[in-house]
Structure 1
Amino acid sequence: MSNYILPPISSITSLDTQAKVQLLTHLFEKCETLTSYLVPELFNQNHTSYVNLIEAARSLLLKLLEGSDFQRINRIIAAHPRLGPQKQQLSSHSSSEQKSLAASSPEETEKLVSLNEEYEAVFPGLRYVVFVNGRSRASIMENMRKRIDRGDVGLERREAFEAMCDIALDRAKKLGAKL
């Protein structure tokens, strides 16, 4: 896990842009599209807690869904790593969060890889995003199957943004925020 500690919530409006981007990268994932959208909107007001900050980010992300900038939306969602075996380097946060998915049979690993591929074929440009922490591999794969079968891209984008914010709340707690 990262050694990063969140700055006091009272100080975040005075952080420089690089520090704001770093803060958001620890709460969410590294994503220039996300930070370029959130930094100007999120840090122009005082927040009473990290819960308040993340809920403001949730509102901004959900508001983005009201428009038609699907490329921007998809880039934000695709910044999250795939679940299971990785070709790309995971952030220290994602690596820790996905530990429950690591220990399994080769058949389960193959099934998760296959589900990721099927998900991305049904929802081009998206990644399956879910709050994994503490959930079993079987439960995650069952959820992924239901979402693939549902086939509703609008609902997928919404669920991804909701999950990203739920993950951010969990990360904030682990990074020393008083929630």
Structure 2
Amino acid sequence: MSAYTLPPISSISGLSNNSKIELLNHLFEPCEVLQKILLTNVLGSENAKFYSTYKQFIEVSRKELLEYLKLEKSSPQYDENISKIISAHPRLGANKSKIGNLSIHSQKEQQSLLQASREESEKLSDLNNLYESKFPGLRYVVFVNGRSREVIMANMVERIRRNNIGLEKVDSINAMCDIALDRAKKLGAKL
């Protein structure tokens, strides 16, 4: 999938900032806002934390992102930053020409969705459009984990009908962290 290998978990607090950013970009989608939050509060030297597993590191990252989400109510900047973090993930089933370059991880994770029939692709595109109009600034994020297009689209419809942007943000952050756990495992980490 990728020539990148995760560094030993015991060494991540001592990595250079560029190496930490590379690590975050492989576990999560590249996003400057996410990088800043996690570099400062999870990987920062002033907060030097030593993690015994990548699972522990990702769960601390999840907690930090969910805490950041709570701050959102205090400032429009927080709301914009949460949107940037969530929208760093590509649309489900969208081809490269419509969303720019997919990360190597997203390409692999979305392989089955990218091979949909024209009808399924159009339905997924319509659902993406509906979701994004219902929740401006967000993108539907879910841990696919081998689930079929039909199951994913049913979940998407359910979340659109639920019509709760606060829960969408929480579900998206949790999905991003579930994806990061899966990526860590695929990159050789023992969770």
TM-score of the pair, normalised by structure 2: 0.92
- The partner residue of 1:147 within 130, 142, 159 is 159
- The partner residue of 1:100 within 112, 115, 125 is 112
Q: How does 1:112-123 map to 2 (within 5 A)?
A: 112-123=124-135
For 2:94 and 2:172, the matched residues in 1 are separated by: 20
- The partner residue of 1:72 within 75, 81, 96 is 81
Does the 8 Å contact 1:98/1:133 carry over to 2? Answer: no
TM-superposition CA deviations, 1:37-70 (whole Å, max 9, x none): 1111111211110000000000001101211211
1:45 and 2:57 equivalent?
Answer: no
For 2:40 and 2:114, the matched residues in 1 are separated by: 37
Which residue is 2:27 aligned to? 27
Amino acid across the alignment from 1:109: S
Amino acid across the alignment from 2:151: S
SS of alignment partner, residue 66 of structure 1:
helix
Amino acid across the alignment from 1:58: R
Q: CA deviation at 1:104?
A: 2.4
- The partner residue of 2:60 within 47, 56, 59 is 56
For 1:104 and 1:45, the matched residues in 2 are separated by: 43
**Can you give the 5+ residue segments of structure 1 that lack an aligned partner in the other structure?**
none
Q: CA deviation at 1:100?
A: 1.8
Does the 8 Å contact 1:100/1:135 carry over to 2? Answer: no
For 1:49 and 1:40, the matched residues in 2 are separated by: 19
State how many pairs are aligned.
179
For 1:136 and 1:173, the matched residues in 2 are separated by: 21
More helix by share: 2
Amino acid across the alignment from 2:183: R
Q: CA deviation at 1:89?
A: 1.1
Q: CA deviation at 1:127?
A: 0.4
Q: CA deviation at 1:178?
A: 1.1
Amino acid across the alignment from 1:112: L
Q: CA deviation at 1:110?
A: 0.3
**Can you give the 5+ residue segments of structure 2 that lack an aligned partner in the other structure?**
73-77
Does the 8 Å contact 1:47/1:53 carry over to 2? Answer: yes
SS of alignment partner, residue 84 of structure 1:
coil
